[in-house]
């Protein structure tokens, strides 16, 4: 699968061809498939807060959390049943990729992995019991960055990775950085913006008071609305679509710009920020996410060295962990009681991703020149 206007020529064609096993057919099918997949996983994100928020408000939080737990159990059962069906109807090559790991764990490796997992769980419990939230956020940030760095280092040093594959790994780094920055920005919705909304937001829309929990459904709602459109676009205009590094750069610019909508309302009184302003901020963040989340997922599969396919996917999901930890660390500088401090915080959180995206776009343009 080739995007004919890729700046890096034949090497990027090889990157796209490596994904043919999973997405055969017309160009752009892989990018469109990940948009549809991303749309699917956000269905729960839409209805979860609506259901649990309504139950918590009508009854109590115990009922809301119980419903969430029961739905997760149903999801696991559906996966167990559906996985057998998928494997039964898949071709032999796909069955081998899914069912047979490239590097199965030996007995000793299995014991070491189990012991390390238990040690991490115990350390996490101890950290929650003994450390304050601010310290925990910095510890988690350091650990997630260290794990990501270790995974990268092992791939660059491994004799199983060819020189061409190392080039592909290096080309994934800008996508990795954009993904980290985006997830840091998106995590503000559940932290800083939650506090901001509590103190500034007017939740009344056309005479209807929007339940606070429902604001968490805005992001998945927008994804469900716009993801199919992007999927259709990738299928129809794949020959002219930008490279995935360009798409992720555009994504962080759009997402960062969403924070600017809140700046005119910083430091104001209760109920001073219209609900539609918060909706606009989350809309721009969501549009940025659609240029980053599905695109980075697809890129993780096509940039991965053959010997580390699964590990490379884990590397992508580490961007969420790093971004969330970074958001937690940054949120310690947010002071809703200081108008100047609140303005400065929201401005910096918005400007940083916009500047990063602009620099990466200029770098890509200079390479094409």
Instruction: Give residue 193's pLDDT band: very low, low, confident or very high (50, 70, 90).
Output: confident
Task: Flag whether pLDDT at 7 surpasses 60.
Answer: no
Q: What percent of the chain has pLDDT over 90?
A: 17
**C-alpha to C-alpha distance for 369 and 353, rounded to whole angstroms:** 24
List, for residues 46-69, the tens digit of each pLDDT value: 777 778 777 877 788 788 888 888
Region 341-369 average pLDDT: 86
List, for residues 173-190, the tens digit of each pLDDT value: 999 999 999 999 988 888
Instruction: Give residue 357's pLDDT band: very low, low, confident or very high (50, 70, 90).
Output: very high
Q: Mean pLDDT score of the chain, rounded to an integer? A: 80
CATH 1.20.1250.20 fits 10-39+133-368, yes or no: yes
Which pLDDT score is estimated for 46? 77
Closest CA to 183 of 36, 344, 326, 78: 326
Which pLDDT score is estimated for 17? 40
Region 165-179 average pLDDT: 91
The residues with which 201 forms a beta bridge, in sequence order, are: 273
Which pLDDT score is estimated for 97? 67
Comparing 22-31, 73-82, 166-175, 197-206, the range with the smallest average pLDDT is 22-31
| Residue 31 and residue 234 in contact, taking contact as beta carbons nearer than 8 Å | yes
State the number of CA atoms in the 13 A half-sphere of 211 facing the CB.
Answer: 14
List, for residues 8-56, the tens digit of each pLDDT value: 433 343 334 434 444 444 445 566 666 677 777 777 777 777 787 778 7
List, for residues 278-337, the tens digit of each pLDDT value: 889 999 999 999 889 888 888 888 888 888 887 888 888 899 999 998 998 898 888 888
More confident residue, 235 or 146: 146
For the full predicted model, state whether its pTM sits above 0.85: no
Task: Flag whether pLDDT at 208 surpasses 90.
Answer: no
Which pLDDT score is estimated for 345? 93
Task: Flag whether pLDDT at 349 surpasses 50.
Answer: yes
Q: Measured in Å, how far apart are the chain's first and last C-alpha atoms?
A: 24
Whole-number Cα distances in Å, 116 to 104, 112, 192: 17, 6, 34
List, for residues 108-126, the tens digit of each pLDDT value: 877 888 888 888 888 878 8
List, for residues 247-261, the tens digit of each pLDDT value: 889 999 999 999 999
Residues 6+ apart with CB under 8 A from 147: 318
């Amino acid at each position: 699968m080739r995007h004919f206007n890729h700046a890096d020529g034949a090497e990027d064609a090889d990157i796209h061809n490596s994904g043919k096993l999973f997405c055969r057919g017309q160009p752009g099918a892989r990018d469109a498939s990940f948009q549809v997949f991303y749309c699917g996983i956000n269905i729960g994100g839409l209805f979860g807060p609506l259901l649990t928020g309504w139950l918590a408000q009508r009854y109590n939080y115990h009922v809301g959390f119980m419903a969430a737990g029961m739905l997760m159990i149903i999801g696991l059962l559906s996966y167990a049943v559906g996985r057998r069906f998928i494997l039964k109807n898949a071709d032999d090559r796909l069955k081998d990729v899914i069912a047979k790991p490239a590097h199965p764990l030996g007995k000793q490796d299995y014991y070491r992995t189990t012991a390390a997992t238990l040690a991490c769980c115990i350390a996490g419990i101890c950290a929650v019991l003994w450390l304050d939230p601010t310290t925990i956020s910095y510890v988690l940030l350091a650990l997630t960055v260290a794990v990501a760095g270790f995974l990268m280092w092992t791939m660059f040093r491994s004799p199983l990775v060819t020189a061409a594959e190392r080039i592909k790994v290096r080309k994934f780094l800008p996508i990795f950085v954009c993904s980290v920055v985006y997830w840091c920005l998106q995590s503000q919705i559940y932290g800083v913006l939650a506090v901001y909304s509590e103190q500034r937001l007017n939740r009344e829309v056309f005479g209807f008071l929007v339940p606070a929990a429902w604001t968490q459904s805005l992001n998945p709602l927008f994804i469900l609305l716009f993801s199919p459109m992007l999927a259709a676009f990738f299928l129809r205009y794949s020959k002219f679509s930008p490279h995935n590094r360009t798409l992720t750069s555009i994504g962080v610019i759009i997402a960062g710009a969403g924070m600017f909508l809140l700046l005119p309302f910083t430091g104001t009184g209760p109920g001073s920020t219209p609900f539609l302003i918060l909706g606009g901020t989350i809309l721009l963040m969501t549009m940025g996410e659609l240029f980053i989340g599905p695109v980075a997922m697809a890129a993780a599969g096509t940039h991965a060295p053959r010997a580390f396919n699964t590990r490379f996917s884990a590397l992508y999901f580490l961007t969420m962990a790093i971004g969330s930890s970074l958001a937690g660390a940054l949120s310690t500088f947010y002071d809703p009681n200081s108008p100047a401090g609140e303005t400065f915080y929201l401005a910096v959180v918005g400007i940083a991703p916009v500047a990063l995206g602009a620099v990466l776009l200029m770098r890509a343009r200079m390479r094409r020149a």
